[in-house]
Copies of this chain bind each other. A is one copy, B any other.
Amino acid sequence: MFLGKVVGTLVSTQKEASLDGLKFLVVRRLTAENEEESGYVVAADAVGAGLDEVVMVATGSSARQTKFTDKRPCDAVVMAIVDSWEVSGEEKYRK
């Protein structure tokens, strides 16, 4: 999984039918030091994440292992909201 920050939302009405009801989030990648990178992903939301929240994203077939994304053409999912993490004994983020 990688760490990301929810920076936006996306609206799509014309889409594969099985995707109805899914909420799509624009998630910016974060370094392990909690700095925003230019990379991003659009991920389905499985945990009710809000704007500016720091989250974990799972990709690939693992992104389909939630009730929201099962058997859907979805390759990225926000599967956890992060409370905190530390690196080398130093706290890099706390909610």
Instruction: State how many angstroms separate the Cβ of A57 from the closest Cβ of chain B.
Output: 9
Name A residues whose Cβ lies closer than 8 Å to a Cβ of B. 1-3, 7-16, 18-19, 24, 26, 28, 31-32, 38, 40-43, 46-48, 56, 58-66, 69, 71-77, 79-88, 92
Residues of B within 8 A of A92 (CB): 8
Q: A8-B85, A58-B74, A64-B62 are in contact. Are A32 and B43 (CB under 8 A)?
A: no
CA distance A42 to B64 in the complex (A): 18
Q: Which of B3, B48, B73, B80 contacts A79 (CB 8 A)?
A: B73
B1–A74 touching, CB < 8 Å: yes
**Once the chains bind, are A28 and B19 in contact (CB under 8 Å)?**
no
Given contacts A62-B74, A76-B1, contact A88 B13 (CB under 8 A): no
